[in-house]
């Protein structure tokens, strides 16, 4: 499930690509979806500032990553899939929810909430990375997730405050590394698998490997 195209106003492209590579390596058949809604705003990624006069559609922008092969999130059903994965990027906190603005008081996009609840009810695994675990924390009461560490540690974990918001949402936060063994947390009860990814300032290959651990565990939980 994508949330646009570009870290500051949509899906983090490196994370989406890593998810797709690891799914391909795992032999999975993949379908991509995004909500057919306007973005919260558009960011000029060369300046890191909003482009005030622009507006974009989340589905249309997500199609860039999907190479055009994408459908509206409204068409995603548990009957047709064994698992669902949400890459990170600020789009998860801006377009799939209002977390970027409202924090613990955020609202989740209606279709995103439906998908999370439907997969959870069906006992099918849910994978999330970077900031997207906040979606599970909000929608799935008592879920265990990780966004990495709970302290910034000199800038290594610049978004460490997210862990506190996750706790306020009623979820359990589990501290995880991104660069060593077991960089993914598996909530076996809820079949929710999370990894910090770009919540940590580290080398790209470490993030790629951490996402691989998440994907591997999601596929393992499908039992196929």
3-state SS class at 1: coil
3-state SS class at 44: strand
pLDDT of 84 > 90? The answer is yes
What contacts 90, CB < 8 A, 6 or more positions away?
7, 8, 9, 10, 43, 100, 131
Q: Report strand pairing: 185-187 vs 192-195.
A: antiparallel
Rounded Cα distance between 206 and 174, Å, is 19
Question: What pLDDT is attached to residue 180?
Answer: 79
Rounded Cα distance between 137 and 143, Å, is 6
pTM of the predicted model as reported, rounded to 2 decimal places? 0.97
Q: Report strand pairing: 49-50 vs 43-44.
A: antiparallel
Instruction: Specify whether 130 is catalytic.
Output: yes
Q: In angstroms, how far is CA 43 from the centroid of its own chain?
A: 19
Which class does domain 11-220 fall in? Answer: alpha beta
Question: What pLDDT is attached to residue 6?
Answer: 98
Rounded Cα distance between 135 and 96, Å, is 8
pLDDT of 181 > 90? The answer is no
Rounded Cα distance between 10 and 210, Å, is 21
pLDDT above 70 covers a percentage of the chain that reads: 100
Model confidence pLDDT, tens digit, residues 108-154: 999 999 999 999 999 999 999 999 999 999 999 999 999 999 999 99
pLDDT band at 182 (very low <50, low <70, confident <90, very high): confident
Question: What pLDDT is attached to residue 25?
Answer: 97
- Which helix (H) or strand (E) is 23 found in, with range? helix 13-25
The widest CA-to-CA distance across the chain, in whole angstroms, is 48
Model confidence pLDDT, tens digit, residues 5-29: 999 999 999 999 999 999 999 999 9
Question: What pLDDT is attached to residue 220?
Answer: 98
Question: What pLDDT is attached to residue 179?
Answer: 79
For residues 56-84, give the mean pLDDT: 98
Task: Tell me which of 5, 106, 130, 200 is the catalytic residue.
Answer: 130
Asked whether 89 and 100 are in contact (CB, 8 A), the reply is no
Model confidence pLDDT, tens digit, residues 196-218: 999 999 999 999 999 999 999 99
Quickly count: other Cβ atoms within 10 Å of residue 24's Cβ.
Answer: 12
Rounded Cα distance between 190 and 172, Å, is 12
């Amino acid at each position: 499930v994508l949330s646009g195209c570009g870290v500051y106003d949509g899906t983090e492209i490196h994370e989406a690509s890593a998810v797709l590579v690891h799914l391909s390596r795992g032999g999975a058949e993949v379908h991509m979806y995004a909500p057919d809604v306007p973005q919260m705003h558009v960011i000029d990624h060369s300046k890191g500032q909003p482009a005030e006069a622009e507006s974009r559609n989340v589905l249309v922008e997500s199609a860039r990553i999907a190479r055009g092969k994408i459908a509206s999130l409204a068409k995603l059903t548990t009957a047709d899939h064994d698992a669902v994965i949400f890459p990170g990027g600020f789009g998860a906190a801006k377009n799939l929810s209002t977390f970027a603005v409202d924090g613990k008081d955020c609202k989740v996009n209606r279709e995103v909430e439906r998908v999370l609840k439907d997969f959870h009810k069906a006992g099918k695994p849910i994978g999330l990375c970077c900031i997207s675990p906040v979606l599970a924390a909000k929608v799935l009461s008592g879920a265990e997730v990780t966004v990495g560490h709970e302290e910034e540690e000199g800038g290594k974990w610049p978004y460490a405050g997210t862990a506190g918001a996750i706790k306020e949402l009623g979820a359990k936060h589990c501290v995880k590394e991104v660069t060593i063994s077991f960089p993914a947390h598996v909530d076996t009860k809820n079949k929710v698998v999370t990894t910090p990814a770009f919540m940590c300032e580290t080398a790209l290959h470490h993030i790629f490997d951490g996402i691989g651990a998440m994907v591997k565990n999601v596929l393992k939980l499908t039992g196929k």
